[in-house]
Amino acid sequence: MTIDEESNLLYVASARKLYVYSKEDELLLENALSFNVNAFSVLEDKLFVLRQELSIPQEEGFLNRASFYEINKSLDVVDTILVREVKLKSGSASDFPIKNYFSTVGLDHFVYVPDFGSQIILHDTLYKFKEKVLTPFLKLNFETKQVLDKGGMKKIQIYNVVNSLSYVLCEYYSESKYMIFIYEKESAIGFNLQKGVLDGNGNPVVLRPLDLGRDIFYFVQQSEYSDSETEEQNPMIGIVQLK
């Protein structure tokens, strides 16, 4: 889900379909694309959809391809931007359900596109998006050397990179551990946190982007049942501003 603040329209995606809603929750338009929507966002007042094609058979090995598709007001594709092509020996690939690939701070847009194939190169660059061109903006330098295990799985797998006004957050997997890296720009100090940031009760939570121009994030915690037979489990949503 993403919001076009200029037109006050809400865009929703489900598999191959795109939906447009008004601020009164009225369905205005829908359309089916010829491919699945992996992620999408409004960038420079235009809707862009990310398509990630995995393990495309080639004469020698396989290919992973990531592309942006510009979508017009009628929800039709009008332009394509190739982001990356990765050649692979093996067709194995993984995925991650949460896709925080887009960051907006003021008028600036940033994009991170992971690759989940069995390639030893670590894709650790955050890009700035301007006039449909991706320019390297920030590189995360991991001290641990990237290797593949016997099953072709990466030692380090980056899932998401989020850029806010004062912080950079990186969500990644390293040596069987789920990690969050938080970097404060002004002090140039970074913290590696296993499983997430600790809340007031000492429980780890994962921060998700809400208003990056003001360093505001949210997190979701599953509540515990008092009586699982009579009560419906409702998650607790917390909103925090990083200082």
Distance CA 142, CA 146 (A): 9
Q: What is the pLDDT of residue 74?
A: 96
Q: 59 burial class (0-12, 13-18, 19+ CB within 10 angstroms)?
A: exposed
Tokens 């998006």 belong to 129
Backbone angles phi, psi at 214, to 5 degrees: -120, 15
Q: What is the pLDDT of residue 229?
A: 66
Q: What is the pLDDT of residue 175?
A: 82
pLDDT in tens, the chain (243 residues): 899 988 999 999 999 999 999 999 999 999 999 999 999 999 999 999 999 998 899 988 899 999 999 999 999 999 999 999 988 887 767 788 999 999 999 999 999 999 887 777 788 999 999 999 999 999 998 877 777 777 667 788 999 999 999 999 999 998 889 999 999 999 999 999 999 998 888 889 999 999 999 999 999 987 765 556 666 677 889 999 998
Q: Supply the pTM of this predicted model.
A: 0.90
Q: What is the pLDDT of residue 227?
A: 58
